Amino acid sequence: MKLVDFLEGHARLRPDSVFAVHRGGRLSYAEAAARMEMLAGRLAGLGVRAGDRFAVLSRNSPDMVLLFLAASRLGAVPVPLNFRLSAREIAHIVHHAGARVVLAQAEFAPALGWAEEGRHVLVALGDACPPGWRPLADLPVGEAGLCPAGDLTPAYQMYTSGTTGLPKGVCISHAAVLTSVTQYVAALGEKPGTGDGVLVVAPMFHAAAALLAFIAVHCGATLVVHEEFSPAAVVSALASGAVQVTALVPAMIRACVEAHAAAGAPDCGGLRVLIYGGSPIAPAELNAAMRAFPCRFLQAYGMTESTAGVTFLTEQDHARALVAAPGLLKSAGRPLPGVALRILDAAGAEAPAGTPGEICIRSPQVMTEYWNDPAATAAALADGWLRTGDIGYLDGDGYLYVCDRKKDMIISGGENIYPAEVEAVLLEHPDVREAAVIGVADARWGETPLAFVVLRLGAAADGASLEAFCRRHLAAYKVPRLYEFAQALPRNASGKVLKQELRAARRKERVT
């Protein structure tokens, strides 16, 4: 089966049920299926065929979901782009994916100025159409018949950065998505049904947000689509009673708790399930969130390469943690149905319970490959297990504890930041001789990048000038706000920067 099968099935069985609510408007399942057919026809008219990649640069909208489903009908592969990236970063991904067609909202025209006439087709999503772009409504209509490709056809290709800072295209099959949807529905206990609202507020270029939308379509529920995160808007939606399920990262939860108090603590009792991930949540913050939003809390651990979460810390786990086992909140929970976990030590042997090692995953929801990167694919999918690069351990009861993120990855407000990518940009500055980036605690975002910089002899760059330079080449959330200047960086005998020493020195400075 494919993603599109569920949209078409609900359109036949429940045509008047509401598919999506967006900007005050409503779209029924019948209307959504018709629009999906239109989008598929327009893509086909541009020559998009089975296996072709096309890029999407958009804020959250019903059309973004429908483009995933239109691709499903054609056997084509959507490449959702992070609109927070710089033009250079976006250009690299589009070229690497081989996407000739880019569908985008007009506000992102500056990020697409590199597109070459004759090589790229820019299609405007929405009413505004920048010069040189083609309006969606004016595109030719081609044959959009259902592609006969199998379940291993990629449902989408999302880009994530490796520790080298180079983006990798993660290919996720229809079978992987449907496995993950089935696992989540089982973990939810009570799946969202017809008329239930599923709030999607995290950007759908992220695996977890896209999966939440697919769950809603699978169940015939109603997508409540927010274009961007606004704590006040989320609280208003929850207080309206129109939302029964949503997913937020802890930084969003904190902001929503504050917005809830500022709004006079409205009743949000209609919310039944809140899924969070990206990092654990402190007991005090969880208690505050549960008072504001009295629903079931579920924590998920996963990554783009595993479609989304592979473990859940259930509502029963949360309740037990708050009463008698607070340390359990540091856990990412236990594996979902069909997921196998193991922890490997440095020698590749399975580590005993309680001993940290690399987290490895085996499940049908794991990626098929890194696009056009067989070496990285072989390294990541050794012996049928996904080598996550994350360090963690399993306790005696099978709960997973994540000790360290992929190498030195920073998670800021739910966004992954890879220090090597930031360091590479800093080293392009003419005044910078060496640079190392680590994550430090931040009350608002969980973590924020801190850059240690060694300047060239006689150079006069300061933190403000380096920040301005980084802003020209990096997405805003990746730009370090904190800078420390040093005479040299600590290195081992092989020349590798000892980031653990930088972290230790930073902790010591904060204590003293």
For residues 195-224, one letter each, b for 16 or more C-beta atoms within 10 angstroms of the residue's C-beta and e for the rest, the string is ebbbbbbbbbbbbbbbbbbbbbbbbbbbbb
HSE (side-chain half, CA atoms, 13 Å) at 100: 11
Once rounded to an integer, what is the mean pLDDT over residues 308-318? 95
Tens digit of each residue's pLDDT (9 = 90 or more) over 60-104: 999 999 999 999 999 999 999 999 889 999 999 999 999 999 999
DSSP line for 365-388:
TS-SEETT-HHHHHHHEETTEEEE
Please indicate whether residue 121 or residue 414 has the higher confidence score (pLDDT): 121
Q: What percent of the chain has pLDDT over 70?
A: 94
Residue pair 105/125 in contact (Cβ under 8 Å)? The answer is yes
pLDDT at 120: 96
Query: What's the N-to-C CA distance of the chain in angstroms?
Result: 59
Length of the chain: 512
164 pLDDT more than 50: no
- pLDDT of residue 163 exceeding 50: no
Residue 491's CB: how many other CB atoms inside 10 A?
Answer: 13
Q: What is the mean pLDDT of the chain?
A: 91
The three-point CA angle 329-249-464 to 5° equals 115
Full DSSP string of 34-84:
HHHHHHHHHHHHTT--TT-EEEEE--S-HHHHHHHHHHHHHT-EEEE--TT
Question: Helix, strand, coil: what percent of the chain each, to 5?
Answer: 35, 30, 35
Question: Domain spans of the chain?
Answer: 3-228, 410-511
Which residue is listed with tokens 């949209």? 7
DSSP letter assigned to residue 362 = E
Is pLDDT at 511 greater than 60 in this prediction? Answer: no
- CA–CA gap between residue 328 and residue 214 (Å, rounded): 30
**238 or 193: which leads in pLDDT:** 238
List strand residue ranges (DSSP E) for 154-240, in order: 154-161, 167-173, 197-200, 222-225
Among candidates 126, 140, 94, which has minimal Cα distance to 113?
94
DSSP string, 114-134: TPPBTTBEEEEESS---TT-E
Alpha carbon separation from 208 to 185, 249, 278, 353, 469 (Å, rounded): 14, 10, 10, 29, 31
Distance separating alpha carbons of residues 334 and 314, to the nearest angstrom: 9
The answer on pLDDT for 512 being more than 80 is: no
> Which residues does residue 199 pair with via DSSP β-bridges, in sequence order?
224, 246
User: How high is the pLDDT of residue 338?
Assistant: 94
Asked if residue 493 has pLDDT above 50, the reply is: no
Q: What is the reported pLDDT for 278?
A: 75
Domains 3-228 and 410-511 share a fold: no
| pLDDT score of 313 more than 90 | yes
- Asked if residue 213 lies in contact with residue 80, where contact means CB atoms within 8 angstroms, the answer is no
What's 112's DSSP letter?
G
The CATH class that applies to domain 410-511 reads alpha beta
Q: Is 161 in contact with 419 (CB distance < 8 Å)?
A: no
- Quick one: pLDDT at residue 508? 62
| Per-residue burial over 453-481, b = 16 or more CB atoms within 10 Å of its CB, e = otherwise | bebeeeeebeeeebeebbeebbbebbbbe
| CATH of segment(s) 3-228 | 3.40.50.12780
Q: What is the pLDDT of residue 108?
A: 98
| pLDDT of 174 above 60 | yes
- How much is the pLDDT for 216? 97
Tens of pLDDT along 408-445? 778 898 887 878 778 889 988 999 988 999 999 898 89
CB-based burial label for 243 (10 Å; 0-12, 13-18, 19+): buried
